[in-house]
Amino acid sequence: MKATYKKYILDFKQASGTSRGVLRTKETYFIILENKGKLGYGETGLFRGLSADDRPDYEKKLQWTCNNISLGLTTLLIELLEFPSIQFGLEQAFLSLESSTGFDLFPSDFTQGKDTIDINGLIWMGEPSFMEEQIVAKLEAGFNTIKMKIGAIDFETEIKLLTSIREKYSSEQITLRVDANGAFTPENALEKLERLAVLDIHSIEQPIQQGQTKAMQELCVKTPVPIALDEELIGVFQYEKKQQLLETIQPQYIILKPSLVGGIHGSNEWIALANQQNIAYWITSALESNIGLNAITQYTYTLDTNLPQGLGTGSLYTNNIESPLEVEKGKIQYNTNKEWKINI
Tell me the catalytic residues: 149, 257
Helix 84-98 vs helix 263-276: crossing angle, to nearest 10: 110
Distance, CA of 25 to CA of 6 (rounded, Å): 16
Strand boundaries in 36-195, DSSP class E: 38-44, 117-118, 121-123, 145-149, 175-179
Of 47, 82, 58, the closest CA to residue 235 belongs to 82
Beta-carbon-side half-sphere exposure of residue 33 (alpha carbons within 13 Å): 24
Quick one: DSSP state of residue 328?
E
Distance, CA of 102 to CA of 181 (rounded, Å): 35
Distance, CA of 45 to CA of 139 (rounded, Å): 29
Distance, CA of 222 to CA of 288 (rounded, Å): 35
- Contact by Cβ (8 Å): 298, 116: no
Distance, CA of 204 to CA of 189 (rounded, Å): 11
Phi first, then psi: give them for residue 49, nearest 5 degrees: 85, -5
Strand duo 145-149 + 331-334: pairing: unpaired
3-state SS of the chain: helix, strand, coil percent to 5?
35, 25, 35
Query: For the chain, what's the residue count?
Result: 344
- Contact by Cβ (8 Å): 340, 324: yes
